[in-house]
Amino acid sequence: MKTPSSVTHTRTVLLVGNTEDNHDVLKPVLDAMGCRVVIVPTHGRALEFLFEHCPTLMLIDTSVQGRMPLSNFIATVRSRYPKLHIGLAGSIANASDAQLGDFQLAHPLLLDDVISTLENWTGTRKKR
């Protein structure tokens, strides 16, 4: 089995999804915290990115419809990258899926909640 590349960005955040509203809230906050932000539209692209770059945090837009259910996608990621923190952004219809992430950012995304939650998980403070 291949292992991820040796280049690890300690504050790289992967946003999975194509919801512009989420990007508009999350990306500026993460940028201000000094995080490198990469946006991919699908679960498949997320797996490709994870293999190459090993980010610290992955935020998944729960509205993304992938080839596999959200629970299977997260189980796959956790089995391959057990140290990766996973956050879920959006509404979650299935209560068991809500337990799959390390934290959840519920809709509507409220800026203060987003900032405090992301500061906890990235270990950084937003530059004010």
**Higher pLDDT pick, 128 / 125:** 125
pLDDT digits (tens, 9 = 90+) for 4-52: 444 344 588 999 988 888 888 888 888 888 889 999 999 989 999 998 8
- The 10s digit of each residue's pLDDT in 76-102 is 999 998 888 888 887 665 556 666 777
Q: Which residue has the tokens 């955040």?
A: 13
DSSP of 43-59: HHHHHHHHHHH--SEEE
Contacts (Cβ under 8 Å, ≥6 apart) of 123:
11
Domains, the chain, in order of start with CATH, read: 21-91 (3.40.50)
pTM for this predicted structure: 0.77
Cα separations in angstroms, 113 against 42, 75, 104, 117, 118: 25, 26, 10, 6, 8
Residues forming beta bridges with residue 85, ordered by sequence position: 57
pLDDT tens sequence across 48-72: 999 888 888 899 888 777 777 888 8
Chain position carrying tokens 């991820």: 4
Q: What is the predicted pLDDT for the residue at 50?
A: 92
Residue 37 near residue 13 (C-beta atoms within 8 A): yes
Nearest to 32 by CA among 62, 18, 11: 11
